[in-house]
Amino acid sequence: MKLKKQVTVCGAAIFCVAVFSLYLMLDRVQHDPTRHQSGGNFPRSQISVLQNRIEQLEQLLEENHEIISHIKDSVLELTAHAEGQPALPHHTPNGSWVLPPESRPSFLSVSPQDCQFALGGKGQSPDLQMLAVYSLLPFDNQDGGVWKQGFDITYEPNEWDTEPLQVFVVPHSHNDPGWIKTFDKYYYDQTQHILNSMVLKMQEDPRRRFIWSEISFFSKWWDNISAQKRAAVRRLIGNGQLEMVTGGWVMPDEANSHYFAMIDQLIEGHQWLEKNIGVTPRSGWAVDPFGHSSTMPYLLKRSNLTGMLIQRVHYAIKKHFAATQNLEFMWRQTWDPDASTDIFCHMMPFYSYDVPHTCGPDPKICCQFDFKRLPGGRINCPWKVPPRAITDANVAERAQLLLDQYRKKSKLYRSKVLLVPLGDDFRYDKPQEWDAQFLNYQRIFDFLNSRPNLHVQAQFGTLSDYFDALYKKVGIVPGMKPPGFPVLSGDFFSYADREDHYWTGYYTSRPFYKSLDRVLEAHLRYPLSDYALLSNARRNLGLFQHHDAITGTAKEAVAVDYGVRLLHSLTNLKHIIINAAHYLVLGDKDAYRHDPSAPFLDTDDMRPSQDSLPERTVVKLDTLPRFLVVFNPLEQERLSTVLVLVDSPHVCVLSEEGQPLPSQLSAQWGSATDMVPNVYQVSILARLPALGLRVLQLHKSFDSHATLKSSVRLYLHGRDLPVRKQEAVPVHVFPATTDDFCLENQHLQACFSGHSGLLQSIRRAGEEREQRVSSEFLVYGTRTSKDKSGAYLFLPDGEAKPYAPKDPPVVRVTEGPLFSEVASYYQHVQTVVRLYNVPGVEGLSLDMSCLVDIRDHINKELALRFSTDIESDDTFFTDLNGFQIQPRRYQRKLPLQANFYPMPTMAYIQDMQSRLTLHTAQALGVSSLGSGQLEVILDRRLMQDDNRGLGQGLKDNKRTCNRFRLLLERRATANKSSSFFSKLASVFKALGFPGTRTGSPEVQDSRPISFPSLLSHITSMHLNAEALVMPVAQEKPPALRSFMPLSTTFPCDFHILNLRMLQAEQDDSLPSAEAALILHRKGFDCSLEAKNLGFNCTTSQGKLALGGLFQGLELGSLQPTSLTLMYPLGTASNSTNIHLDPMEIATFRIRLG
């Protein structure tokens, strides 16, 4: 013990000396008078002196980092052997609980090089930055004539004399895997007939072409067709008549989907194509997602696709890009320093992807060339001029009319190659339609191609035929930047298709299922034993990423079908995890016996039906100890409060070794004033190993000193309500309202309104100034005009009004050693704000949940707004797919609904001093409608359709629990005492890295980028990957041991996105010996203070040794591949050391032995 203290003190001294000397070095460099001469134009000699100093500084920084690492290792080595259990909390005379200091030190050791990335400044600025485009456009929606949302297009007849127009007509059928009908009903009614007809009709003429994107449908059809038909399909693909575009399981929503699920459904589709047909998709096709995220081009690029197409973009942006010939561009990530993420993107220019809006600017003319609408059919042209079958007599006039549209459309693009999609939803389902479209178009093509004076070459083509022809015209390799084409960065949210009809409602629609989606994802990240069930779960999760599923925009019966699939897979995965945990914690592995009828472990919770909230398992205590197995799904060790329900208040919690663990006994409340009889919450403070299993014991004990009771104050606000108590938990009932009050832990003080029970302010430990963070509930109505909000659209009747329930809330304050919380019970929402009194990540933010039930509302949307004194002006930040942060700006020239954006995992506001981040466990819509504000839409109930084809309102609301974390951070630069990173930033600035982006100014930059802090990243992961608590079912189990799979700590900016079992070569129900390891290195902002993380966090400049990572497992082989494993990258080497740049996601094919 003495040695341990000496090493710790010595280590701390060396650390202080190293940091102080570094600080002085930085100070000297910063105050060097040579830097201030002649406005920064240094003479060459002084530049070289500066460069030498910088090099010395970098060397010192590196040495400092190594010193810290050595100290860390030696202290850890000593403490690992001497680590005791967490000491027990005690009550102070003033009534608050104090936790003793941690028995084990933790480190934050971030290499300064790892801080450079967030400073940005490298790389060229794009030609088109979407934030700047939004600021530039008037959004005036002027009438453009036949192209209502555009302008008149004119051309000179001789423009194509030297270079003929090359036209590719691309037949397609957009098949939604669930929308008006369920996935299976669509398949049996339509999709199977489309694909059967395709095989038949494509073989009739080798000039015919067709593209397909949804592998979920294609794989189901493949399983039901003959070997002969499969061979015909392979031939059609082989000779270029049929192309598989994108190749994902679905065409995913890009607003609400998490990047884990986006990648997983892409791998599922790509692996299926590779195994069954030997196909690798080259081009992306996304005609129907409601707005486009910049995450998608990154994923496609890293999957080795070379081109992509998008359609649903705000009509004003389409018009602007058409007028400037910027509809085709290289799409680059905002954070990309070297153009390695560029992918060629084609934006369709008109209103829709249907035939009337794809041949050219005039839908009245284009509709006449949709030959499914010939007179006598079930659908016709709304413009009242029907198509005419092409004959020798009319072909000249018809072809000339169509060519005029082609020429006008081509004027919007830079090349003389034109893409003309030909299709719509569930098209080509009957042989007659194939004949009508293909025969009539072929007559037109034959006519055009036989007239050299027309200077046009028209033909059927696939999407890649178009991209290949365009690249051939400009004379470069597919995927490279064509000369003269612009570079764009940013995204395409939010989407409006006409007038002020913004598709921002679906960011929140059906939040219950958005939450269930995320829960299923958290169970899918690990290699599990039953491959058939695992594969089925991936496919159900993949199906739910479809742009009418996670969006909440399908019919009620279809939403139920998705829910049943998600719950079925979640239940299966829980059982697979239980079986794996059973084997791993057994001291004697030979004793393992799998009995499905009597599982060794119980699940942590269960859901009786697809629309139920989870119900936690209650552990029954008896004379014998009960055991718990706790799984930590994160790659970082965590100090967490683990919750378990028991049937007795007389409980004592011990570690695996029999040491008492601190725990808190609380009541289980069934309502605002009713305790559930004979059920108690036990919250246990436990350190959980990374990706590991910890064994705990529960004993029935009448004199446990380690189990401390919480106390409860109940404020009834004058309401005459009966209170059902239990003796074991003291409750003080106050009939009247209380004054404002505060809760605090060692990091934070949170203060609440006595009347509403809602949060008012947060003060960080050691700071005098408290930060106003007041929360309130608001209600949006919808318009009285004919256009009203629905599943897709948010059309509010003005600003939100305060939520005004008929009764004041019941406010319940619980205080205890491990957590304290305030629960406020309103008529339509119960909110709980919890402050964990634990060291580390969980104690640094506020845990919030809102249980929402608006089933008696009519045309109302419930919002939660935070108002602060942060001077954020008109700028806020939202994440895209949990992968990256996109700066946003509140646009006063746009209607209120246009300023809402998707928030899959987080949103924040900031100024030069502070950042407030709202972390979320489910995708919801978010905005900042005023400086210092952040608001989120919790649920929406709408009684009517919004005329986008669904034919229903949103009336199937459920009781939904929305979960959040509220994190307040200070900038290190805001405190004079810790200006280390500000000095570092100024040095990098002197080196030519323009601008340390802090506060709102980062959005004025030509490359607006922002990143969460490391603490913020880890907080988000804690929220989205809760520890799983599995009670051992048997009363007398064999000896159990905790399981720790990682032999070294993981760098804290690395994330194991997935360790994915791969399918065996022959049998799709069995796994192969290989797995896909998918890693993500997160970009992070160092300028926010990171103290007391509670675990050892080090970064490694992107270096990671995978060889000895897994305890007891040899890494047999390591092959870097493209994201979806279709292409090996380089040769497999014996080296198991890898390197990842910040923000990059990389896939490795590994074999563990």
Place of tokens 């939100």: 800
Give the closest residue to 490 by CA, choosing from 329, 661, 322: 329
Considering just the CA atoms, what is the radius of gyration of the chain in Å?
31
Give the closest residue to 395 by CA, choosing from 355, 452, 449: 449
Between β-strands 108-109 and 1097-1098, what pairing exists: parallel, antiparallel or unpaired? parallel
Beta bridge partners of 907: 878, 918
What's the one-letter identity of residue 380? N
For residue 772, which phi and psi values (nearest 5 degrees)? -65, 120
CA–CA dist 109, 111 (Å, integer):
7
CA–CA dist 66, 57 (Å, integer):
14
* CB 1135 within 8 Å of CB 1086: no
CA–CA dist 35, 650 (Å, integer):
70
* CB 512 within 8 Å of CB 962: no
CA distances from 586 to 263, 589, 665 (A): 34, 6, 29
Phi-psi category of residue 188: left, alpha or beta, with phi > 0 → left and psi -120 to 50 → alpha = alpha
Residue 429: both structure tokens together: 């389902």
Quickly list DSSP for 438-471.
HHHHHHHHHHHHT-GGG-EEEEE--HHHHHHHHH
* CB 192 within 8 Å of CB 221: yes
CA distances from 36 to 253, 435, 991, 1119 (A): 52, 77, 14, 51
- Among the listed residues 114, 176, 253, 288, the single catalytic one is 288
For residue 999, which phi and psi values (nearest 5 degrees)? 70, -170
Going 707 to 710 to 711 to 712, the CA torsion angle's sign is negative
CA–CA dist 89, 719 (Å, integer):
36
CA–CA dist 67, 15 (Å, integer):
8
CA–CA dist 1143, 883 (Å, integer):
8
First to last CA, the chain: 39
Prior bond of 494 cis (ω within 30°): yes
CA–CA dist 307, 478 (Å, integer):
8
Report which DSSP code applies to 1132.
-
Angle 2-30/44-82 helices, nearest 10 degrees? 170
Within the chain, how many helices (H) and strands (E) appear? 20, 52
Between β-strands 456-460 and 165-174, what pairing exists: parallel, antiparallel or unpaired? parallel
Give the closest residue to 274 by CA, choosing from 1149, 1032, 975, 1058: 1149
Give the closest residue to 175 by CA, choosing from 188, 160, 187: 187
Entry field: residues in the chain: 1153
Residue 855: both structure tokens together: 């089933």
Quick one: how far is CA 105 from the chain centroid? 33
Residue 604 annotated in active site:
no
How many CB atoms within 10 Å of residue 325? 15
* CB 1022 within 8 Å of CB 974: no
Task: Mark out the alpha helices in 784-902 (DSSP H runs).
Answer: none
CA distances from 805 to 375, 691, 756, 936 (A): 57, 45, 11, 19
Give the closest residue to 350 by CA, choosing from 364, 361, 335, 338: 361
Enzyme catalytic residues: 288
